[in-house]
Structure 1
């Protein structure tokens, strides 16, 4: 299965639309796109996961690395519209507690920027 990644500027964020299966074979493609965005100073990313049919631990690690990199750059990562199976993986792994997840891209784009935790 292949993976397609498209980006679209939306306000101060970049919506990264991902479609297909996100696994060991395809995760590097998404990681390359994220690295390119960060290199261009784009550190506020919204991942549209509506068309992601499968995500394994390799895919999850891409989101964690993206969050860490964006946090360091003063940005943030938000996940939007994960399908039920992908949402379940995020819940079981505990990543819904770390990665802000929204039912739609619109909600992710308009939600207030509040830190996940303040210390």
Structure 2
């Protein structure tokens, strides 16, 4: 499956809509968009990953670094909509702090 990224920059927010496979080949696109948004004055990144079907370890690393970059600029990054794949990986890897509102049953398990 292909990967697509739609970015809507409306400072101080940027909304990134991701779909498809988020892997070593596509994760840099997310990083570049977060960088561009910061340079445009955005301090809040909202990610919609509801259509993401696959995530590899390098993509998780990119998301963690992007979150850290936003924090270092007094900003925030959160996943506001997530697919089951993204939810499971964030919970398993300790990146659940990226999730805006994880299902309580998923956090408890």
- The normalised TM-score by structure 1 is 0.76
| Corresponding position of 1:33 | 33
Gaps of 5+ in 2: 103-109
Deviation of 1:8 after TM superposition, in Å, equals: 2.0
Cα distance change, pair 82–100 in 1 and its aligned pair in 2 (3 A): closer
Deviation of 1:51 after TM superposition, in Å, equals: 1.0
Cα distance change, pair 59–99 in 1 and its aligned pair in 2 (3 A): same
Deviation of 1:101 after TM superposition, in Å, equals: 2.8
Separation in 1, partners of 2:3, 2:33: 12
| Corresponding position of 2:66 | 66
- 1:46-66 deviation digits (Å, cap 9, x = unpaired): 000011111111111111111
Matched, 1:22 2:22: yes
Cα distance change, pair 42–21 in 1 and its aligned pair in 2 (3 A): same
Deviation of 1:80 after TM superposition, in Å, equals: 1.8
Q: CA RMSD in A?
A: 1.8
Gaps of 5+ in 1: 104-119
Q: Which runs of 4+ in 1 moved over 3 A?
A: 9-12
- The normalised TM-score by structure 2 is 0.82
